[in-house]
């Protein structure tokens, strides 16, 4: 840690490298990625969504099933296995977090399972986790980290949690203008609103802390969305962030749990291929315009006109509120679980491939997690060979 020019990120008394790997579903950040990141001394995050897809035995029991309880049970077993495998890989270093989307129907069960299986932290995005302190009351050593995009959301959480004598152990501030996956903005027009700029939000949050009687450094703030250079890390730390969180660059790392084709879609996407649209979860989302997404967006108006409540396509009822199942016209009209599962398998035609808007630190090269963290913290790039650096120049 002393080789890096930044102070440690301190969460629950543990000193970590100030680079966090964000949770990525379905199955993009499972035990291999999170365990590798933690072994480096940083915070690695497993995404809890539909993890059975990484376990052939669990898929054999549930792939064709419409039995919701059976699917949910298989997913809890998978989550338990993934946490234990990541912790074993980490060998006591860093931290293993579990990312749970508030919008997911099984959110309380995932929170409980993550705590029971030994996760060091619970990270919640896609909604306001007002009830997280109660859900984790029996596990006071588990760090609680909400993901929010503005000071207004942070104020709501802080005021509610402080009434229960609990504070977040860190807060991820995710800028919807650049981040991948679900975005913390009310609608598509809001996504690029300059009010989400890191400097503005950090300053507003520091004023909020002051008004609530909290010291400036009481809760570490972690900036997420579009971070891809050492210079950005430096600038964000100077603005008062205690760390940065990255998604897309970790998804395409050598140890990322995604299929090689998944990584290729993300690394080869051009700026104009990256689009925002409404997800079924009722939030804007950002992804690569692959064949399925392109066709879907062309048909969207018609799909929205015909939106009406129906049975969940796969019987899994993964979301509390689903635009497709519940016939909510202004939300997305596709089954996110089905499309993300195709992406996980590397099905370029049918998958949904979440990606942030910004360039990748190493272009289209697939590099180890250690290189990414090193570069972000020191500014020293690993050397690449002429063919985009798929092998180090020294070998
Ligand atoms: C493929 C992919 C899937 C993601 N899935 C989730 C998710 O399930 N839950 C979540 O909170 N964030 C998710 N994210 C967001 C990341 O955790 C991270 O905060 C975000 O990608 C940061 O922006 P960046 O990609 O520009 O680094 C996902 C990102 C990617 C690239
Ligand atoms: S239809 Fe909606 S609730 Fe059912 S699995 Fe698909 S996204 Fe989830």
pLDDT in tens, the chain (395 residues): 546 789 999 999 999 999 999 999 999 999 999 999 999 999 999 999 999 999 999 999 998 888 899 999 999 999 999 999 999 999 999 999 999 999 999 999 999 999 999 999 999 998 899 999 999 999 999 999 999 999 999 999 999 999 999 999 999 999 999 999 999 999 999 999 999 999 999 999 999 999 999 999 999 999 999 999 999 999 999 999 999 999 999 999 999 999 999 999 999 999 999 999 999 999 999 999 999 999 999 999 999 999 999 999 888 899 999 999 999 999 999 999 999 999 999 999 999 999 999 999 999 999 999 999 999 999 999 887 655 544 433 32
Domain holding 145, by residue range, is 9-259+359-377
63 lies in the same domain as 143:
yes
**Residue 206 in domain:** yes
Query: So what's the pLDDT on residue 316?
Result: 87
Q: Which atom of ligand 1 has the smallest separation from the CA of 172?
A: 19
112 lies in the same domain as 198:
yes
| Tens of pLDDT, residues 20-48 | 999 999 999 999 999 999 999 999 999 99
231 lies in the same domain as 284:
no
187 lies in the same domain as 319:
no
Secondary structure, 3-state, 317-350: CCECCCCCCCCCCCCCCCCHHHHHHHHHCCCCCC
Structure tokens belonging to residue 324:
């497709």
328 lies in the same domain as 192:
no
**Residue 4 in domain:** no
How far away, in angstroms, is 349 Cα from ligand 2 center?
Answer: 20
Query: So what's the pLDDT on residue 390?
Result: 46
**Number of domains the chain contains:** 2
Q: Which candidate, 51, 50, 45, 48, places its Cα nearest to that of 87?
A: 45
**Residue 352 in domain:** no
Ligand nearest to the Cα of 223, by number: 1
Pocket flag, ligand 1, residue 337 (CB < 6 Å): no
Pocket flag, ligand 1, residue 178 (CB < 6 Å): yes
How far away, in angstroms, is 339 Cα from ligand 2 center?
Answer: 10
Query: So what's the pLDDT on residue 126?
Result: 83
How far away, in angstroms, is 256 Cα from ligand 1 center?
Answer: 13
Q: Which atom of ligand 1 has the smallest separation from the CA of 225?
A: 23
119 lies in the same domain as 242:
yes
Pocket flag, ligand 1, residue 356 (CB < 6 Å): yes
| Tens of pLDDT, residues 312-334 | 988 889 999 999 999 999 999 99
**Residue 384 in domain:** no
How far away, in angstroms, is 65 Cα from ligand 2 center?
Answer: 14
**Residue 383 in domain:** no
DSSP E strands in the chain: the ranges are 9-11, 14-16, 19-21, 43-47, 95-101, 121-125, 143-148, 171-174, 181-182, 221-224, 243-246, 274-278, 284-288
- Pocket test of ligand 2: the residue of 309, 336, 339 to mutate, having most ligand atoms within 8 Å of its CB, is 336
Pocket flag, ligand 2, residue 259 (CB < 6 Å): no
148 lies in the same domain as 273:
no
165 lies in the same domain as 276:
no
Pocket flag, ligand 2, residue 371 (CB < 6 Å): no
Phi, psi of 386 (to 5 degrees): -60, -30
- Going by alpha carbons, the residue nearest to atom 6 of ligand 2 is 335
Helix axes 31-39, 369-378, angle to 10 degrees: 50
| Cβ atoms 58, 73 nearer than 8 A | no
Pocket flag, ligand 2, residue 312 (CB < 6 Å): yes
- Pocket test of ligand 2: the residue of 278, 315, 337 to mutate, having most ligand atoms within 8 Å of its CB, is 337
- Pocket test of ligand 1: the residue of 19, 21, 22 to mutate, having most ligand atoms within 8 Å of its CB, is 22
Residue 2 C-beta-side C-alpha neighbours within 13 Å = 0
313 lies in the same domain as 232:
no
Pocket flag, ligand 2, residue 335 (CB < 6 Å): yes
Residue 11 neighbours by CB under 8 Å, 6+ apart: 43, 95, 121, 143, 145, 169, 170, 220
Pocket flag, ligand 2, residue 313 (CB < 6 Å): yes
- Going by alpha carbons, the residue nearest to atom 5 of ligand 1 is 24
Q: Which atom of ligand 2 has the smallest separation from the CA of 316?
A: 5
- Going by alpha carbons, the residue nearest to atom 3 of ligand 2 is 317
């Amino acid at each position: 840690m002393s080789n890096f020019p930044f102070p440690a990120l301190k969460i629950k008394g543990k000193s970590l490298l100030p680079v966090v790997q964000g949770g990525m579903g379905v199955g993009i950040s499972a035990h291999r990625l999170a365990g590798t990141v933690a072994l480096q001394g940083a915070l690695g995050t497993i995404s809890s969504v539909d993890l059975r897809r990484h376990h052939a035995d669990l898929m054999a029991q549930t792939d064709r099933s419409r039995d919701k309880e059976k699917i949910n049970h298989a997913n809890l077993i998978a989550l338990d296995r993934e946490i234990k495998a990541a912790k074993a890989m980490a060998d006591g270093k860093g931290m293993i977090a579990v990312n749970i989307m508030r919008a997911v129907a099984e959110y309380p069960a995932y929170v409980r399972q993550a705590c029971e299986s030994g996760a060091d932290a619970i990270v919640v995005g896609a909604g306001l986790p007002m009830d997280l302190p109660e859900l984790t009351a029996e596990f006071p050593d588990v760090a609680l980290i909400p993901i929010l995009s503005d000071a207004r959301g942070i104020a709501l959480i802080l005021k509610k949690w402080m009434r229960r004598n609990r504070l977040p152990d860190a807060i991820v501030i995710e800028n919807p203008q650049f981040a991948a996956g679900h975005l913390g903005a009310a609608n598509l027009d809001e996504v690029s609103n300059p009010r989400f700029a890191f400097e503005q939000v950090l300053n507003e949050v520091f004023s909020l802390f002051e008004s609530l009687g909290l010291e400036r450094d009481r809760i570490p703030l972690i900036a997420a969305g579009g971070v891809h250079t050492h210079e950005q890390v430096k600038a964000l730390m100077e603005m008062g962030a205690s760390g940065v969180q990255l998604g897309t660059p970790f998804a395409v790392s050598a140890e990322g749990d995604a299929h090689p084709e998944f990584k290729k879609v993300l690394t080869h996407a051009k700026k104009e291929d990256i689009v925002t649209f409404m997800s079924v979860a009722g939030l804007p989302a950002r992804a690569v315009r692959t064949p399925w997404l392109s066709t879907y967006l062309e048909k969207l108006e018609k799909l929205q006109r015909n939106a009406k409540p129906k049975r969940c396509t796969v019987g899994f009822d993964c979301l509390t509120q689903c635009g497709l199942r519940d016939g909510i016209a202004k939300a997305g009209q596709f089954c996110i679980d089905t499309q993300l599962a195709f992406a996980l398998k590397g099905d370029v035609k049918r998958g949904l491939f979440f990606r942030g808007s910004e360039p990748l630190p190493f272009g289209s090269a697939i590099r180890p997690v250690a290189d990414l963290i090193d570069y972000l913290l020191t500014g020293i790039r690993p050397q690449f060979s002429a063919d985009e650096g798929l092998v180090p120049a020294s070998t």
